[in-house]
Structure 1
Amino acid sequence: MAKDIDRYTYRVTWSEEDQEHVGLCAEFPSLSWLAEDPELALKGIRQLVHDCTEDMRQNNETVPEPLASKQFSGKFMVRVPPETHRLLAIEAAESGVSLNRLISSKLHRPRM
């Protein structure tokens, strides 16, 4: 398999509905691979992504850029109800931090 598919974001999770492990790729949300074994689910989705990218190249289609290669600004806008905004502003003031710092800390969750 081509090394470029190694840069994509893969995940294997359990599908209660299918009673199997499902391999997923964030850059190709329409693709999935079911297998009894999690390692086989990962191997299957990687092969499927490889086949898909090869097909896209042959058809002169744009192949998705891996998320790991993208540059992110660290900025995005979120709209909340005015009451939520007010409550967050109060919490930030009472905590002695900026609203931005408070919300950033609430969004950040340590990985397990």
Structure 2
Amino acid sequence: MPADHYTYRVTWSPEDGEHVGLCAEFPSLSWLARSPDAALKGIRAMVADTIADMKKNGESVPEPFAEKRYSGEFRVRIPPEQHRALAMLAAEQGVSLNRLVSMKLAA
């Protein structure tokens, strides 16, 4: 799996006083650098090295989020009282419970 297919993010770390490069598919990895560009370059190289090491050791490499297929469905457990309140709100708004929850998640 090419390292450039993964999901990267660079953010500022106030604790470290530097930019930190992160990869969503490898949450235990990070790279600190003085510039955002260097943080991104560092985390990408670290991910590439990690993938090579995992392959060498016969470990399975995480699939990039961009290449996964998503059904658009997931199940959420909530207390019955909250379920009732949401169902009533959906009925009052004239929408399905699914539509109401989808709109709330999108907001």
Q: TM (normalized to structure 1)?
A: 0.90
Runs (5+) with no aligned partner, structure 2: none
Q: What root-mean-square deviation, in Å, do the aligned CA atoms of Structure 1 and Structure 2 show?
A: 1.2
Overall identity of the aligned pairs, in %: 66
> 4+ runs of 1 displaced by more than 4 Å?
none
Work out the CA distance in 1 between the residues paired with 2:81 and 2:30.
40
User: Is 1:104 matched with 2:77?
Assistant: no
Could you report, residue by residue, the CA deviation over 1:38-89 in whole angstroms, capped at 9, with x for unpaired residues? 1111110000000111111111211111111111111111111122111111
* 1:9 CA drift (Å): 0.5
Residue 64 of structure 1, aligned match among 52, 62, 67: 62
| 1:67-106 map, 5 Å | 67-106=65-104
Gaps of 5+ in 1: none
> How far is 1:10 from its partner?
0.5
Deviation at 1:22, TM superposition (A): 0.8
How far off its partner does 1:108 sit? 1.6
Q: How many residue pairs are counted as aligned between the two chains?
A: 107
Q: Which residue of 1 aligns with 2:18?
A: 20
The C-alpha deviation readout for 1:83-105, integer Å capped at 9, x for no partner, is: 21111111111111000000011
Alignment of 1:35-50 (within 5 A): 35-50=33-48
- Report the TM-score when normalising by structure 2: 0.94
- What one-letter code is carried by the residue in structure 2 that aligns with 1:36? R
